[in-house]
A = this chain, B = another copy of it.
Amino acid sequence: MKKLINNPDDVVTDALRGIAAAHGGALEVAIDPHYITRADAPVQGKVALVSGGGSGHEPMHGGFVGMGMLDAACPGEVFTSPTPDQMLEATKAVDGGAGVLHIVKNYTGDILNFEMAADLAREEDIEVEAVVIDDDVAVQDSLYTAGRRGVGTTVLAEKICGAAAEERRSLKEVADLCRRVNDGGKSMGMALTSCVVPSAGEPTFELGDDEMEIGIGIHGEPGRERVALEPAAQVVERLAAPILEDLSLSGGDSVLAFVNGMGGTPLIELYIVYSELVKLLGGRDIAIERNLIGPYITSLEMAGCSITLLKLDDELTSLWDAPVNTPGLRWGA
Q: Which residue numbers of A lie inside 8 Å of B, CB to CB?
A: 2-7, 11-12, 14-19, 21-22, 55-56, 58-59, 63, 78, 192-193, 209, 212, 229, 231-233, 235, 263-276, 278, 288, 291, 293, 295, 298, 300-301, 303-305, 323, 325, 330-332
Contact = CB atoms under 8 A, between A and B. Distances in A.
A263 B266 contact: yes
A138 to B, nearest CB: 17
Main secondary structure of the interface of A (DSSP, over half): mixed
A4 B55 contact: no
A166 to B, nearest CB: 15
Contacts of A295: 266-267, 295
B275 A21 contact: yes
Contacts of A7: 231
Contact of A303 (B16, B270, B301): B301
Given A2-B192, A275-B17, A303-B2, A264 B266 contact: yes
Contacts of A272: 4-6, 11, 14-15, 18
Contact of A301 (B5, B233, B266, B330): B266
Nearest to A236: B4
A18 B291 CA distance: 11
A58 B232 contact: no
